[in-house]
């Protein structure tokens, strides 16, 4: 049932290419503009690369959160899902996984190319890839809670940012520290374990919180 829900989300995303491409284009543009706007020096780029990549990934994820439930809410599908015989938790979980596959995974795959532009070393690129692979699912899981609470609200994207950004800060710190440690030749295994633990906790709790937040938003609507 979860697989079918994920397949549905992927098919719907293919019908809305703008929703699919906007976060990726935003991510590429933000990272690409820094070498032009600050300095082409390798030393300067290495210094700012961890923060630039992770802040760009965070903002790109927030950009995609606003549309996670919007279309299904507007056409009434979301309300039908909430009263269908199928477990609503599974349907919401499928939407979260589908959102990461079309928005988060492309960022992870594109990041090594942009990391080369920012003069990161091979070890730094490896650490960045691992950090994004672990971190972007966390961003999607936590962001889905805010997306559920703000269904149907005007300027919901700004409200999602206010609600969710404090939860993103530990992930941002750990992700950037991994890249910095790799560039300095220091072990970052502790950061990997912390991100993995946060990911496991998010998988365990976020779908339940999102499901309840969507139910509350639908009942208020």
Q: Give the tens place of pLDDT for each residue, 61-96.
A: 888 887 788 777 777 778 888 787 788 888 888 889
- The model's pLDDT over 129-151, given as tens digits with 9 standing for 90+, comes to 999 999 999 999 999 998 888 88
What is the token pair recorded at 210?
Answer: 């999102």
**Contacts made by residues 212-218, CB under 8 angstroms, sequence distance 24+:** 213/145, 213/148, 213/149, 214/69, 214/78, 214/82, 214/88, 214/92, 214/148, 214/151, 215/82, 215/88, 216/148, 216/149, 217/148, 217/149, 217/150, 217/151, 217/152, 218/73, 218/78, 218/79, 218/82, 218/151
Query: How confident is the model at residue 69, as a pLDDT?
Result: 81
Query: How confident is the model at residue 193, as a pLDDT?
Result: 96
Query: How confident is the model at residue 157, as a pLDDT?
Result: 63
Query: How confident is the model at residue 177, as a pLDDT?
Result: 95
pTM value? Answer: 0.90
The SS3 call for residue 150 is: coil
- Among 5-19, 36-50, 166-180, 194-208, the range scoring the smallest mean pLDDT is 5-19
Query: How confident is the model at residue 158, as a pLDDT?
Result: 72
Higher pLDDT, residue 6 or 152 = 6
Do you know the residue count of the chain? 221
- In this predicted structure, the answer to whether residue 125 has a pLDDT above a threshold of 80 is yes
Contact between 170 and 138 under an 8 Å Cβ cutoff? The reply is no
- For residues 166 and 42, give the distance between their C-alpha atoms in angstroms, rounded to a whole number: 32
Residue 21 region by backbone torsions, left for phi larger than 0, else alpha for psi between -120 and 50, else beta: alpha
Query: How confident is the model at residue 207, as a pLDDT?
Result: 92
Q: Between 42-65 and 105-117, two packed helices, what is the crossing angle to 10 degrees?
A: 160
The average pLDDT across 182-192 equals 93
Q: Where are the domains of the chain?
A: 2-220
- The model's pLDDT over 98-112, given as tens digits with 9 standing for 90+, comes to 889 988 999 999 999
The answer to whether the Cα torsion of 93, 56, 201, 205 is positive or negative is negative
């Amino acid at each position: 049932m979860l697989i079918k829900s994920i397949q549905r989300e992927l098919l719907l995303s293919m019908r809305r290419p703008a929703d699919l491409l906007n976060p990726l284009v935003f991510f590429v543009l933000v990272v690409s503009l820094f070498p032009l706007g600050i300095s082409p020096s390798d030393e300067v780029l290495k210094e700012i690369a961890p923060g630039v990549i992770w802040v760009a990934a965070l903002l790109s994820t927030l950009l995609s959160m606003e549309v996670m439930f919007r279309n299904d809410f507007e056409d009434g599908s979301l309300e039908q899902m909430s009263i269908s015989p199928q477990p609503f938790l599974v349907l919401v979980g499928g939407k979260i996984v589908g959102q990461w596959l079309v928005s988060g995974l492309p960022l992870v795959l594109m990041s090594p190319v942009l990391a080369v532009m920012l003069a990161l070393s091979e070890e730094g690129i490896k650490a960045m890839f691992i950090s994004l692979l672990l971190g972007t699912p966390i961003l999607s899981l936590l962001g889905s809670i805010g997306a559920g609470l703000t269904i149907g609200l005007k300027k919901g994207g700004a409200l999602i940012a206010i609600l969710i950004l404090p939860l993103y800060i530990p992930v941002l710190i750990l992700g950037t520290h991994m890249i910095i440690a790799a560039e300095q030749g220091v072990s970052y295994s502790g950061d990997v374990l912390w991100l993995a633990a946060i990911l496991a906790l998010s998988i365990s709790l976020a779908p339940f919180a999102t499901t309840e937040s969507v139910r509350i938003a639908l009942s208020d609507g």
